[in-house]
Amino acid sequence: MIFKTIRSTLTAFNSLAIASLCAAVLSFAIFQHEELYSEAVTSNLDGLSNNMAEDLFTILGASNIDKLEVTKALLELTEYENVDFAIVVDKDFKEIEFHAGKPLQEIGRPNLSVDTEQLRELEIGMSTSKGQLYAKKLIGEVAFPLGYLLIANDLQNPLDRSKIALMKNVLPLTIIVIGIGIALSLWLNSKMLLPFQKLARLAHQIKQTNDYSIDIKVHGKQEVTDLSNEMSSMMDTIHDEEIKNKHYTQQLMQQRKDMERLANFDSLTGLPNRQFFMETLRKSLSQAEGENDDMVLMYFDLDGFKGVNDTHGHEVGDKLLIEASKRTQRFLRHGDLIARLGGDEFLILLYNDPNDFVVTDIAERIIKEISKPFYISDWEILISVSIGIARATDAKYNLSDFVSNADVAMYKSKVEGKNKHTIFIPAMMEDNRRRLIIANSIVSGLRNNEFQVYYQPKVNADEQIVGFEALLRWSSDELGLVSPDEFIMIAEQSGKINQITEWLLKEVMFNYASILEHFGEDTVIALNLSAHDLKNAKILELITSLYARHMINPKCIEFEVTESTYLENFDMANAFFENIRTLGSSIALDDFGTGYSSLSYLTQIQLNTLKIDKQFVDNLGISKRSTLVTKTVIEMAKQLNLNICAEGVETRQQMDFLVAHGCHQLQGYLFGKPTDLPTLLAVPYKKESKRVLPFMR
């Protein structure tokens, strides 16, 4: 009886101990799983919010905040299913943009309001409250905040689901273990108690070491062996879950590193990108100002890169950017920083107050190296580089002024012929200010009829008028007379040249009938097009509609494009002018010989007229080289059956030479200056003779 009582007591005790042990192991596993999960989610949200705050820094730092860009940045959270919401506020905690995550969308609360006062009180960093994980991040610097980002992530519900999944996997095994333990307790004896003690020690070891990979192998009777195997299986399950969590955490960390690299480095060249460079420059300027030190900034882009893209394709253009960046890096000193600003624009930051000799030497080495031929995809490509140089002291350590000064100097290099470097001086700012005023005044000038079309006559060898070239003049109410050489370039750079061309087309087509009525129906009017016009599909549509509206004979309209514009956009120009020829109009190549050694191209393009540039005409009889080139061009054009027109004819000697060598048309001050339409039509004109009018001279 006593034996039965002891056996029953031992059985009950052992059964309770086994159940308690299994429950303890299960509880510890769940607790450990919960801790690992929380750490992984917190780390992920911390990295995600940091990256988004850095992205939003660039957007909020702009003079005008683009809410669409903020929305696009927040839409990246759509793929994170446990993000409840995110909100971006300015430095005064006024809401800029709110993003509702999938949980709010599913419960029908996409417009949940957030108490900005509570947001203000919330500490920066990571925090939890009522099953929610919050990441509040500062956008900008502590001294100069631009705003704040708050991301709320549902922590409790996903954790509960994860624990339930774990329970589903582990609980059956636990029940089996308890059942076997109860069965084994019926056969409890001193020999069987030893394996249980060993199991207890192993469980204790697992708890102390958190090592679920420990192999549980306890030998004894069949029940003990089964219990050992079941517990080992349960440990394997827990160990597998632990490995999965660690792998998930590693993936999150790698994703964070990848996102940081994408945020800070250019994917094509591997150089630091604009965001990283500007942030580094901001810190460096602050340090240099504190130490009364100076730095130099080089701003440069590749001359002719757009033509490479248009002619050879973007793949060749990308390879060219990579090779150009590699060549440039060879001449930088240790510690200097180069970054790709975007497109074909680059920035170089030279530290440690380099003297003018060092700066000039680096710039000239870069120019010389970039000017060497690039051999890419079986193509020999020639480009150049224009460099602008500025010092931090001239900008008074202001980041925006520092970059702007270098940009202005670079523009000066381009205006003065490219393939050179220019050091910024304060006087350039006035030129830049005028450039901005001109760019901003073009649209209003068109709207207020400040532009006017002037017509310069073209004559044949007998000085009879055969046509006119339509030329733009701009008399601005604010700026006075603005030279076409000045405002055309600015219009192209500011993206407003298409508006000018459209205005010119409409004005010339409107004047068409009056000119032909006065000078004869075979008079040809020539209009100039820019490279931007060749890319504008609306231009061709406009020309077609104007021809129909004003009943224009297309043969009386000729379109001129410069040699450099044609060849830098070769395929596009060919396609555009093929459509123009289909309409019935003619094509003229202007400024021939000034941009390229391109005689071979004349056999590949379809032209009607070749215009000899004024610089060759000016040197006729003075420069043997110009005289020989002019003769060669005329003879070649005659062999290709092209109409030949010489520009800038100002003397009888020039006229006699050109006519004697077979030039078909002449244009210049000798025959007439550009004249406005009322003056052009004011004096009676004999259509039979078509002689140049006296007032034109």
**What pairs with residue 83 in β-bridges?**
153
CATH code, residues 451-683: 3.20.20.450
| Closest to 61 in 3D by CA, of 265, 274, 268, 260 | 274
Confidence of residue 217 (pLDDT cuts 50, 70, 90): low
103 phi and psi angles, rounded to 5 deg: -60, -45
The band of 328, judged by pLDDT with boundaries at 50, 70 and 90, is: very high
Kind and range of the H or E run holding 227:
helix 222-264
Q: How far is CA 384 from CA 270, 370, 407, 668, 686, in A?
A: 22, 6, 17, 33, 52
Tokens 């901001």, residue located = 282
Residue 219 φ/ψ, nearest 5 degrees: -95, 145
Say if residues 173 and 234 touch (Cβ distance below 8 Å): yes
Instruction: Give yes or no for residue 333 having a pLDDT over 80.
Output: yes
Selection from 71-75, 211-215, 461-465, 623-627 with the highest mean pLDDT: 461-465
Domain 274-426 has CATH 3.90.105.10: no
| Residue pLDDT, tens place only, 12-59 | 666 666 667 767 777 777 777 778 878 888 888 888 888 888 888 888
CA-based nearest residue to 134, from 109, 114, 111: 114
Q: State how beta strands 296-303 and 643-646 pair.
A: unpaired
Q: Can you give the pLDDT at residue 609?
A: 92
Residue 255 has pLDDT above 50, yes or no: yes
Who's near 564: CB < 8 A, 6+ residues apart? 591, 594, 595, 596
pLDDT tens by residue, 67-117: 788 888 888 888 888 888 888 888 888 888 888 887 777 776 666 667 777
CA distances from 559 to 545, 563, 571 (A): 16, 13, 17
The Cα 47–Cα 253 span in angstroms is: 8
**Which among 8-22, 100-114, 126-140, 516-530 has the top mean pLDDT?**
516-530
Q: 457 or 31, which is more confident? A: 457
Residue 66: closest CA among 76, 80, 56, 78: 56
Residue 10 Cα to chain centre, angstroms: 77
- % of the chain with per-residue pLDDT over 70: 81
Say what the pLDDT of residue 224 is: 57
Q: What is the DSSP letter of 464?
A: B
With H, G, I as helix, E, B as strand and everything else as coil, classify residue 306: helix
Higher pLDDT, 150 or 249: 150
Work out the average pLDDT over 218-231: 60
- Nearest by Cα to 458 from 366, 368, 558: 558
- DSSP secondary structure, 236-259, as one string: HHHHHHHHHHHHHHHHHHHHHHHH
How many beta carbons lie within 10 A of that of residue 109, not counting itself?
Answer: 13
Domain extents in the chain: 2-32+160-261, 274-426, 451-683
Q: Rounded distance, CA 403 to CA 301, Å?
A: 14
Residue 602: per-residue pLDDT: 67
Could you give the CA distance from residue 397 to residue 489 in angstroms, rounded to a whole number? 31
The answer, yes or no, to whether residue 471 has pLDDT greater than 90, is yes
Q: How far is it, in rounded angstroms, from Cα 81 to Cα 105?
A: 11
End-to-end CA distance of the chain: 141
pTM: 0.53
The first and second tokens of residue 476, run together, are 């601005």
pLDDT of residue 596: 46
